[in-house]
Amino acid sequence: MRIHQRLLLHFHQVRPGKSPAVTASPVDTPFLDIPFLDILAPLVDRAAECLDRSLAGGGVLPLPARRGATRALAARLGEIAGPALTAAFQAAEAVPAIARLYDEPPAWVPRDRYRAFAEAAQGPQAAARLADWPVLRHRLDRMCTDWVDAITAFARHFHQDAPALAVRYPAWRGAVPAVADLTPGLSDPHGGGCTVIRVTLADGTRIAYKPRALAAEAAFGHLLDWLNAAGTAPAHRVPWVMDGGDHGWMEWVDPVPLPDAAGAHAYMERCGGLLALMFLLRGSDIHPDNLIPAGLFPVVVDLECLFQPSPADLGVADPLDDPHLFANGILPVYTSFDGGVTLAPLAAAGSGPLAPRPQTVVRHAGTDWLHLGEQPVPSFAPGPSLGSVPLDVRNFSTAVLDGFQATLRTLVAHKTALMAPEGSLARFRNVRCRLLLAATNLYGLVLAPALIGEGAKDEAAFTRQVARAAGRAPLLGDPAAWRRALAAEARALDRLDIPAFTFRPDGREAWSVEAAGTATSPLGPVFAIPPYDQVTAALAALDDVTINRTTTLLRAALRPPARRPPTLLPQNVGVVAEAVPGLDFRTTLRALADRVADLAVAQEPGTLRWVRLWEQMPALIAPAGPGLCYGAGGIAVFLAEAGRALDDERLLDLARQAQQPLRAAIHRGEAPRLARRFGPGYGRGLGGMIAGLAWCARLLADPALAHDALALAVETPLALAIENGPVGDASDVMDGAAGLAWGLAVLDTGPVVAQAMAACGTALLAASQTDRVGGRHWPGRRRAGLAGLSHGAAGIATALAHIHAATGDARCHAAAWEAVAYENALFNPAAGDWQTGRQQGSSTWCHGAPGIALARTLLMDMLGDKDGRLAADLHTALATLRASPLDQVDDLCCGEAGRLEILATLTTRLPGVEDEIDTALNTRLADWAAGRGRLMVADVAGAPDDAALFRGHAGLGHLLVRRLAPDFACDVLLPRQVSRVS
């Protein structure tokens, strides 16, 4: 086997003229841990020769340093080319099954077929062989060119900056030691393959080179120096930083173990101080690779993501109400490395043992057993540990909160000086920051398969794959700016870079990073206000009340989770548990109401909030917000229902306190802001807030609540104008105009409601399409319309029926029937259910027959029944509903509580169904009373209990109210009638 001599010299120091032998065990040959190096060697050699020529006229980079850089290039090419070359190798003959049983190939594994495959790509034929994959070859060539440019730029910068670097270390006596080694590839590639490089000098000193401006890190270091001098907050280690304008240098920070328990406490106090600074500066992307546990000091080494906007600042809906304090990465968020089967906590400040992630690798390289496989690798660098035990920040909440409060109070005490023209905050005005428009792993998921199979051969196939990134919901409200952003993303992905966008905090514009990091691709104005102005306004308003309010929410988010006892309900589907004597609906409802109350976070007098684990990825533990399905609005409805059912004034008062934050915002004139921030939907938006206020008005006998709901209804045009962004489609019930119509339907009809309903109708009709057979649907960005209640035609049809009832618009009446016709075209007779267009393992309120049964019932009542079609649908849906118990999930949205609630609302159409409902409930009472409901959070280690209506304990209690006192149970799964509030 012929291997290029130059590349071998880099890795083996082989004597020129002597061809090295390939040994029987490739693991004994270090360069062969890079798959297909023998095939890729000509590309690497040519790149190394180009680098030699490029460096000849400028800064000198010694051979050992080039060796490290060359190895990084070879590894990157192997990573990119490996899947395509593996597929080509396996096309002729499948790998034997036994190969997958070995971590390392035995010595007797044959290698002849691989030798022949590689031999065909050696010497003069190498270029011809790679010509079988022209798209792959083009990208590999460009990566080599980018590598030469990046290493040349490093050498030039090192040469020009050497005098300034020399003063950083007195031992150097004015002369920087020679570069002994380079380790590129320590960050995602941006702007032409540029990455962070670890630089090892001849005396062993290591420094970081970054191919971007480090003005933000320099300004942060100045702020830390100021804070340390103030002496009233935890002191921080300040690594040296040198900003070079388009590049920079930084002290290399190594992890150092904590000495003892007292040191761990001090470390977590400093984490609380950093959390406070990220709260002030709106920092993000602080993960375990960016926060180094350097002994007693947590040190942030990457601060490009400061001054981050909320979605609302970019003109899209923000249903989590700007949770940047909880989302910056210092505190736990939950992510998944197995496609969502399990969720694992991740916190830069420490979340216990880190879950590994699977990585696709070429297994048994150099043998006939070569194939792609997965191996577990560390998901991130280890966080802080004491001895051998990884620390969990939730076990140090007191220390974190002490550091957080002390730091914020120091900032408040000196806010005038900080915001002065020459103050520490002003140093951030013009720094270059990065605007995050997608998670890095989204780009990685798009790129991973792009060069496999046809994508390696056909440019159109490659382009179609990377274009999938453009199918996500817009994150910029300005359509023109979003189109420019997507075009810039496409250019970056085309060269296998991770797209990046930058901005300056004192302006409203943003740019794409292209052409080696220069801002050559403007997106235009994307911010509602300059981020710097937002930060200074927040600092000006910061006071002890705000600090205390924020601290109480943080304490709840950091509350160490109680261990949940095992459920009593059998795990096997179809197995019926026995009822537990002594428990009844009232006792269980009382237990659930008390649990919801215990989870409340008391803030200023008369005000309650909750925190919860949100379903989006990454999943945040953050405030629940004012919405109906997941937030305080729905919790308030349940507490009011339970208070009336149990005749408990305490619960009624808690319901008032739950609605108080929303009402206070309305009374401050913030209804327009709420409409723009949360959007129109029923789940987390204006529609659900209106419904919650109206239902509480009836249950609490307080008409003022309904008047507040009307104040929100007035802002319907603003809510409908907002692009829904990351939360979903602009028409459906949960996130769109249909959900706003649901909420408006709970109010008394009047001019305001009629006008708002008409606007919803106009929006729904404009967003719809008709098919060839007279059906009407609401397509998503890359799919046809769905069936179902929460996101599909059934829910939108019921909204149109409500709009017709309020406005008399005949177009909405006709469109509702057309939506039913479209949905029925999606019926699957074999399953007895409607296809949802999504993976559907069960039939629930949100997707499938249960929700459709509820919708058909309302439509029959409001529209009549043409030709008995709705009655036939209802008959089919009820049969599926009754035959489909949901033994593994209990919640109202996707579980058994929702199924039983639907049955309970349809008792007049199903004689005898009460016994069926009560039998199912009786098997669950013991679990529900003890807090063992099968909720989404139950299987998420360390997640807080969920009080929410649609996903948590409140939903279970709502069902019990329905059975105990149906007159007090609101129609939360589908509003059916006007709430008569005088």
DSSP string computed for 776-839: EE---SSSPPPPSSSSSHHHHHHHHHHHHHHH--HHHHHHHHHHHHHHHTTEETTTTEE--SS-
What pLDDT is attached to residue 578? 53
pLDDT value at 647 more than 90: yes
pLDDT score of 14 more than 50: no
Give residue-wise pLDDT tens across range 551-570: 999 999 998 765 555 555 55
More confident call, 60 vs 351: 351
| Residue 505 clears pLDDT 70, i.e. is over it | yes
Q: Which of 533, 626, 554, 481 is nearest to 324 (CA)?
A: 554
Contact 407, 510 (CB under 8 A): no
Asked whether the predicted pLDDT for residue 583 surpasses 80, the reply is no
User: What per-residue confidence (pLDDT) applies to 63?
Assistant: 86
Q: For residue 499, give the nearest of 557, 441, 549 by alpha carbon.
A: 441
Residue 271 is assigned to a ligand binding site: no
Higher per-residue pLDDT: 291 or 519: 291
User: pLDDT, tens digit, for every residue of 887-922?
Assistant: 889 999 999 999 999 999 998 888 889 999 999 999
846 annotated ligand binder: yes
- Element holding 664 (H helix, E strand): helix 649-667
How far is it, in rounded angstroms, from Cα 777 to Cα 822? Answer: 6
Render pLDDT for 781-792 as a digit per residue (tens, 0 to 9): 778 899 999 999
Label residue 521 by pLDDT band (50, 70, 90): confident
Share of the chain above pLDDT 90, in %: 75
Long-range contacts of 369-374 (CB under 8 A, 24+ apart): 369/95, 369/96, 369/99, 369/102, 369/105, 369/109, 370/35, 370/86, 370/89, 370/90, 370/95, 370/114, 371/86, 371/90, 371/95, 371/99, 371/100, 372/82, 372/83, 372/86, 373/100
Please report which confidence band the pLDDT of residue 520 belongs to, taking 50, 70 and 90 as the band edges: low
> pLDDT higher for 725 or 483?
483
Which long-range contacts link 283-287 to residues 24+ away (Cβ below 8 Å)? Answer: 283/308, 283/328, 284/308, 284/324, 284/327, 284/328, 284/329, 284/436, 285/328, 285/329, 285/434, 285/436, 286/328, 286/329, 286/330, 286/348, 287/329, 287/346, 287/348, 287/380
Cα–Cα dist 19/4, whole Å: 9
Q: Looking at residue 783, what is its pLDDT?
A: 82
How sure is the predictor about 59, in pLDDT bands with cuts at 50, 70 and 90?
Answer: low
User: pTM to 2 decimals?
Assistant: 0.91
pLDDT at 575: 43
